[in-house]
Structure 1
Amino acid sequence: MSEPQQPPAHLPAAPQYPGTHAFPTHASSAPPSAPATPAQPTADPAYPTAYPTAAPAHPAGVPGYPASWPAAAATPATPAGSALGRTAFVIAVITLAVNLISSIVRLLIYTSDFGYGSAYAIDDAIGVISFFAYVVALVLGIIAARRPGPRLLAGIAIGIAGAGALGMIFSWIGIAFLRFA
């Protein structure tokens, strides 16, 4: 035959979590000077759990506990580098578009009755303004690339502005050699 099943013996030991009770407190076991407390319901009184089942609830006005937790931000704040990179990107793309359009319009101006003098003046003005816009976009792109945050638009702006500024410098050098040669 088999031996009868007996519950495990509980050895006296310090509780794992101070301040928690492994067994329910009954009104009859309370000292006479203390008020009687109702019994705490547990899952199985014969086998207490070592882990608490729920976090204690604290009312909203208790000192040391916040009345409500702050709400999480819906969208993370954009770093300053991304706004600067976006600005550099927009300046570089607009300047590139103006230069591409002016190269097409230049052909129409040369073939019109406007004359070469006015075409050169318009072409030189667009060139100088574009060069300074490329330099501004390049500087803003470099600053944005050194800041924390997304760097994709800053890198694109550096590429467009650097290539545009170098292209304008070399075209001015070529024009200068043709004028003085």
Structure 2
Amino acid sequence: MSEPPQPPVPPTTPPEQPAPPSPHADPALPAAPQHPSNGSYPPAAAPYPANASSPQAAPQGASHPGAAAYAAPQPPYGTAPTAYGAPADTAPSTANPLGRLAFIIALASLALRVLSTVIMPFLAIGSGYTLYGVMTAVFNLLVLGAAAAALVLGFLAIRRRGPLLLAGIAIGVGGSQVVLVVFGWLSSLFFYL
């Protein structure tokens, strides 16, 4: 007897072998997206392994040969890795003491200038013009010395690392005070000539 007729069998193809993992691929991601066909999704997993010390650490049971390279400790957030084993660049300091000193001296010269402006009219009325002239010269020398010191220290502080705001203010205030004193003396010189 003969065998009963059977439906034709489709040609078989060998099962697809998964491609070896790329060295640039993330080991935590699957090779192909996996979607359930029945519409039910499994519960969401934790984004990182519970025993990992950092988000970049590989899971303990990694099965591919490059897993050890991904499990190496990573530098903490905010620190840049060094190139070619060079020492890490130190973070810029958060203070510029020379700039702060220049700013304080500039404020002192400004305060002296305001004080002399307030006091001088009372000296001129009460004691005469001789004391007024001497006190004006003394105040102007003090203001000029403090402003010049603030200007020089401000320029030195600008060339250092750290915040530059106070140094810039010291340069502006000190420079304007030096210009005011020098032009005040020049105008007085022309008045006496």
Residue 116 of structure 1: how far off its partner (Å)? 2.1
* Aligned residue type for 2:67: P
2:139 alignment counterpart: 126
Seen in structure 2, the aligned counterparts of structure 1 residues 52 and 87 have a Cα distance that, compared at 3 Å, is same
1:52 alignment counterpart: 67
Deviation sequence 1:78-137 (CA, Å, 0-9, x none): 46xx2111111110111111101210111122222x232222211111111111111111
Q: For the residues of structure 1 that align with 2:116 and 2:170, how far apart are their CA atoms?
A: 20
> May I ask how many residue pairs the two structures share in their alignment?
128
Tell me which stretches of 4 or more aligned residues in structure 1 moved more than 2 Å: 48-56, 75-79
* Aligned residue type for 1:92: A
* Aligned residue type for 1:118: L
TM-score for both structures, normalised by structure 1:
0.57
1:175 alignment counterpart: 188
2:110 alignment counterpart: 96
> Does the aligned pair in 1 maintain the 2:124–2:131 contact within 8 Å?
no
Q: For the residues of structure 2 that align with 1:55 and 1:148, how far apart are their CA atoms?
A: 37
- Structure number with the higher helix fraction is 1
2:174 alignment counterpart: 161
Residue 51 of structure 1: how far off its partner (Å)? 4.8
Gaps of 5+ in 2: 1-8, 24-59, 73-90
1:144 alignment counterpart: 157
* Aligned residue type for 1:117: T
Q: For the residues of structure 1 that align with 2:146 and 2:93, how far apart are their CA atoms?
A: 29
> Does the aligned pair in 1 maintain the 2:106–2:170 contact within 8 Å?
yes
Identity %: 32
Q: For the residues of structure 2 that align with 1:76 and 1:142, how far apart are their CA atoms?
A: 19
Residue 154 of structure 1: how far off its partner (Å)? 1.1
Deviation sequence 1:122-172 (CA, Å, 0-9, x none): 111111111111111111111111222221111111111111101110110
1:116 to 123, 129, 134: 129
Q: For the residues of structure 2 that align with 1:167 and 1:152, how far apart are their CA atoms?
A: 23
